Amino acid sequence: MFFIVSRALGATARMYLVINILQIFILNKMGIPFWATALIILLLILLYTFEGGVKTIVYTDTLQTTFMLLGLVVCIVAILNKLDLNLSTALSSLKENKLSTLFNTDVKAPGFFVKQILGGAFITIAMTGLDQEMMQKNISVRTLKDSQKNILTLSTILIFVNLLFLLMGGLLYLYAAQTGSAVKGDDLFPSVALGGGLSAAISVIFIIGLISALFPSADGALTALTSSFCIDILGLKKKENLSEKKKKSTRLTVHLIFAVIFFLLVMLFKWVDDKSIIDVILKVAGYTYGPLLGLFAFGILTNRKIKDKYALVICLLSPLLVFLMDLINNPEWFVNRFSLSEAATQNLKALSGNIFGGYKISIEILIFNGLLTFIGLWLISSKDVKHELSVEQNLTK
């Protein structure tokens, strides 16, 4: 259940980002409303998921990823030319403008590098390692050695891809400062690529790269959620009395229902209208992936038997406690996004200072959430005597 909720929110947040960019910079001028854009793109994604098998997905995803990375490199080169910089002078300029800091050494700051490394590692475990769609690519490899090689190769490639994105981010801020643009956050890249004086060819490449980034993410999430719900919640594989035709019909119904849920969640993100959607994705992940992380860790690290009926209570209580802790610790984040009164804001800031002493929680909130879930599961568990006897008997043999 927590995987389904987490994946749906993460995927639709990314969908909203792409749809909103297309809407603001292109489709608003054509008089097309946001809901119509979201609906059309979802219908295209649905058609995409209905056609082809694994080979089709591999080829199309490879093609789309190539376009996305090509768009990234072309945009970097175009901005460098526009700024009249080469790579060496660009890095120097980024350093001068304090846009190239890798390690924040302020222990109390949200960006403290130890928090970022630990939080990032656990976000990767939760959002990738515990994700059915992400891990299918690794568990479908024939041997364990090849699967490990696949993960290490992908990780190495992603380091360089992320460095390219960070470089482009810095260049965008340099460009915005030079042109006097006040645009920040998620709207900065499209404002430069589509309306900042770059060529029409760059605008086309940007749009192709943008759509190429959207489709593999959205269609994969839709398919993974349908599969997970049908197998884990409905238990279709275990229902031998159902005909294959009935199972297929059920899967189609679930698929369409998830498409509707995606549409509603995209509209919800539009209503929230946050200008830094990555912050929202990481914040949501901290709440919803925490119980998933705690459940997985408890299952793989212990042999204790839980009282199953209390598990859901623990998994709901943990994010609630983390939310209250986050609200007290970081009231500014909530003030900027929700209408909190001045008195409530001041009270929260005073309470935060008294409890946390200036320490700011950031992405490591996922670790706290997972830990609380783990402790809660331990409290509602007992030794699995049957398992211990079985292990003892095997050792005796």
Would you state the pLDDT for residue 317? 95
CB contact at 8 A, 183 and 14: no
Q: What is the three-class DSSP state of 305?
A: strand
Q: How far apart are CA 21 and CA 188, in angstroms?
A: 10
**CA separation for the pair 285, 125 (Å, rounded):** 12
Distance, CA of 371 to CA of 380 (rounded, Å): 14
Main-chain dihedrals φ then ψ at residue 365, nearest 5 degrees: -60, -30
Integer angstrom CA distances of residue 156 from 81, 149, 321, 394: 28, 11, 36, 41
Q: Which amino acid is it at 255?
A: H
The contacts found for 128-136 with CB under 8 angstroms, 24 or more apart, are 130/3, 130/289, 130/292, 130/293, 130/296, 131/3, 131/7, 131/224, 132/3, 132/224, 132/227, 132/228, 133/7, 133/220, 133/221, 133/223, 133/224, 136/224
Is the pTM here over 0.85, yes or no?
no
Alpha helices in the chain (DSSP H): 2-22, 34-50, 54-83, 87-96, 113-124, 132-139, 144-179, 188-195, 200-228, 244-272, 277-301, 311-329, 331-335, 342-356, 365-379, 385-396
78-130 residue pLDDT tens: 889 988 889 899 999 999 988 888 888 888 888 889 988 998 899 889 888 88
Mark the ranges of the chain whose per-residue pLDDT is less than 70.
50-58, 60, 133, 196-197, 216, 275, 335-340, 385, 387-392
124 to 25, 128, 285, 360: CA distances (angstroms): 32, 5, 11, 21
Distance of alpha carbon 189 from alpha carbon 173, whole angstroms: 9
C-alpha distances (whole Å) from 182 to each of 90, 173, 179, 194, 307 are 21, 10, 9, 16, 55
- pLDDT, residue 54, reads 53
Question: For residue 123, how far is the Cα from the chain centroid?
Answer: 9
The candidate with the shortest Cα–Cα distance to 284, out of 127, 134, 394, is 127
Neighbours of 56 (CB within 10 A): 11
Give the whole-angstrom CA distance, residue 46 versus residue 281.
Answer: 23
Reference 23, options 281, 341, 266, 229; nearest CA is 266
What is the rounded distance in angstroms from the CA atom of residue 134 to the CA atom of residue 259?
A: 20
Q: Which positions ≥6 away from 271 have C-beta within 8 Å? A: none
For helices 311-329 and 277-301, the axis angle rounded to 10 degrees is: 140
Q: HEC string of 163-184?
A: HHHHHHHHHHHHHHHHHCCCCC
> What are the residues facing 104 on neighbouring strands?
112
